[in-house]
Amino acid sequence: MPITQSDVDAMTEVLGDYRRQEMTDFSHAWVGMEPTFQSRKSVQKWTKMSAEPGGEDAYFEDKYMLRTQKRVVRKIRKRYEEQQKEGQTHCLFARVELDDDLDQWQVRRQSLLFHWADEELEPLEVRLSLDPETFEYSIKPVPLAWFYDERFVQFLEEFLWKVPRKLGMSFAMAHGGGQFSLSAKTVMTGSLLVDDIAAKLNHPELATWIMDWPNPDDRAFRATRPRAAAFEKILLDYWAGRFHPRAIGLLTAENALLDRGFGPACTAPDGLMDPACGPVGDAREIFQTNFAFGRTVRWNAQNIHPGYWQSAHPDEDGYRPDQIMRYSEGNLNRLQIAGELHVKSGKVLNQEQAPELDAPLDLALLTTEASWENRAQMTRTSARDYVEAQLLYVHHLRHLQKHPHVRLIDSLLQDQILCDAETTLRRHGGEQELNKLRRSARKLNLESSRGRINTDWIEPEALFWASWKSLPAGEKSAIAREVIGNFLTISG
């Protein structure tokens, strides 16, 4: 069936406004996607080459990796042009352009630009880069409204999912995982960001059983007792009004650019928070309260027992101290304003829009990349699966908007394999297993920290599985019922 102008208009009508920071409703939200794919050979190459001196750098210049990367994007372009000639309704773009460049690590990256018939309209950009073991798409920003359009879902399936699969690649979880991000502007109103974090704290099954598997990349907020306590404290501080500008003072661009002054006040005047909907005041005060909370969460909560915490070393790209807290089921590292440094490349973001240092911190200052990333997302088995996972999350956020101020759950059966895992192991005669894990942990901690971290502290993922294995069948069944019941509750 030929594509009509009305078909195209339905997709393009959101392009004029969806990037505007003041348009905070979900109909003007955008999404970033990072699905990943592997081949058997890419896994084998990384395993072998990364174990050799200089092997990691050589991996990113390997002929097979670069050739495969190029094959994927060329095949996508060819397949698109073939189906476009057939008049397929999911081929809404007028033409596709292939380009390549270097990413922030100076690694070769392939890009596809899908242009509309009206060249003035913003094209869809699909980038394919290399990561350890895997090939990773970066597709952003994409208007959230598109994910409700069946033709766009089919577009993703036909070209971005099917092509790698036809070239012998599989959907991957390692060194990636199909995480997605949502425009930060969308969660900076009311108490939505806070309620989402509280819901995640109440539902660790999302990061361990349902949407992901236990791993340090996407570590649950409730993974250890000190980590959970840190999140609980910062949530209590929020609802006590201690992040409100009338408590901590008016925030300016200086606070963001120098990353300071966001911490909670010791005390706060009464009446700064509405128990039903969050911060009181005008739009700027609400934004500043949520921004201060978001920036503080990174250092005061996510930085407690984060994944790969031993590897924080200035000489290790990607593991700088300010990067460590992104290893969580949620990542706020890109909650930034124009003029700040990109969290990976160090380049100035939206330099031409950098505000005066004393400019009041406002929604309009957010960088175009500002986002709240949902990392607890193992790679989905199809584009439809991926989109459904995204929309499940979005609809959950819409529910939170209507039912704000999520109350924390003090105790879960899942705590037996999370923050109370060591106690569980001892209770079921696992002292010998604990000793074994401690010996292994001390060796790993020393190696990965270059001899700085001398401790037998065990990563929570290792304790998760050891404690699970130690549980009797009846207790496992009880946890399983809680996991399913909680998921049905949060998704209902």
> How many Å apart are CA 40 and CA 432, to the nearest integer?
36
Residues 230 and 363 in one domain: yes
Supply the mean pLDDT for the chain: 92
Please give the helix or strand (H or E) that residue 242 lies within, else none.
Answer: none
Residues 418 and 299 in one domain: no
Q: What integer is the mean pLDDT of 175-189?
A: 88
**pLDDT confidence of residue 467:** 97
Which domain-ending residue is among 171, 204, 223? 171
Q: Is the pTM of this model over 0.85?
A: yes
Residues 153 and 189 in one domain: no
CB 428 within 8 A of CB 471: yes
Asked whether residue 305 is assigned to any structural domain, the reply reads yes
**pLDDT confidence of residue 492:** 65
pLDDT confidence bin for 346, thresholds 50/70/90: confident
CB 154 within 8 A of CB 90: yes
State CA 33 to chain mean position distance. Answer: 9
**Which two tokens mark 80?**
């698109």
Residues 17 and 45 in one domain: yes
Residues 286 and 424 in one domain: no
Q: Is 50 exceeded by the pLDDT of residue 1?
A: no
pLDDT confidence bin for 376, thresholds 50/70/90: confident
Residues 46 and 109 in one domain: yes
Neighbours of 175 (CB within 10 A): 15
Asked whether residue 325 is assigned to any structural domain, the reply reads yes
Torsion angle of C-alpha atoms 219, 223, 227, 231, degrees rounded to 10: 80
At CA 98, angle to CA 93 and CA 103, rounded to 5? 120
Residues 358 and 223 in one domain: yes
Residues 145 and 191 in one domain: no
Asked whether residue 383 is assigned to any structural domain, the reply reads no
The CA-to-CA distance between both ends of the chain, in Å, stands at: 37
Residues 305 and 427 in one domain: no
Closest CA to 80 of 112, 54, 120: 112
Q: Is 80 exceeded by the pLDDT of residue 344?
A: no
- The structural domain count of the chain equals 3
Asked whether residue 408 is assigned to any structural domain, the reply reads no
- Among 127-136, 259-268, 421-430, 434-443, which stretch is predicted with the lowest mean pLDDT? 127-136
Q: Could you please report the per-residue DSSP string of 306-333? A: -TTGGG--TTSTT--HHHHTTSSSEE-T
More confident residue, 236 or 100: 236
Q: Is 90 exceeded by the pLDDT of residue 273?
A: yes
Q: Which residues does 32 contact at the CB level (< 8 Å), separation at least 6?
A: 138, 139, 140, 141, 142, 180, 181, 182, 371, 373
**pLDDT confidence of residue 85:** 97
Q: What integer is the mean pLDDT of 204-232?
A: 94
pLDDT confidence bin for 378, thresholds 50/70/90: confident
- Among 264-273, 309-318, 335-344, which stretch is predicted with the lowest mean pLDDT? 309-318
Asked whether residue 396 is assigned to any structural domain, the reply reads no
Q: Is 80 exceeded by the pLDDT of residue 308?
A: no
Q: What integer is the mean pLDDT of 61-68?
A: 95
455: helix, strand or coil: coil
Domain range for residue 98?
A: 5-171
Neighbours of 4 (CB within 10 A): 10
**pLDDT confidence of residue 423:** 97
Q: Is 90 exceeded by the pLDDT of residue 265?
A: yes
- In angstroms, what CA-CA distances link 437 with 357, 431, 450? 50, 10, 20
Query: Tens digits of per-residue pLDDT, 385-402?
Result: 999 999 999 999 999 999
Residues 231 and 281 in one domain: yes
At CA 179, angle to CA 177 and CA 180, rounded to 5? 160
Asked whether residue 201 is assigned to any structural domain, the reply reads no
Query: Checking DSSP bridges between strand 108-115 and strand 124-131, what pairing results, if any?
Result: antiparallel
Asked whether residue 238 is assigned to any structural domain, the reply reads yes
Which domain-ending residue is among 326, 354, 374? 374
- In angstroms, what CA-CA distances link 267 with 239, 263, 270, 296? 12, 12, 9, 16
Residues 154 and 224 in one domain: no
**pLDDT confidence of residue 323:** 74
Residues 154 and 189 in one domain: no
pLDDT confidence bin for 278, thresholds 50/70/90: very high
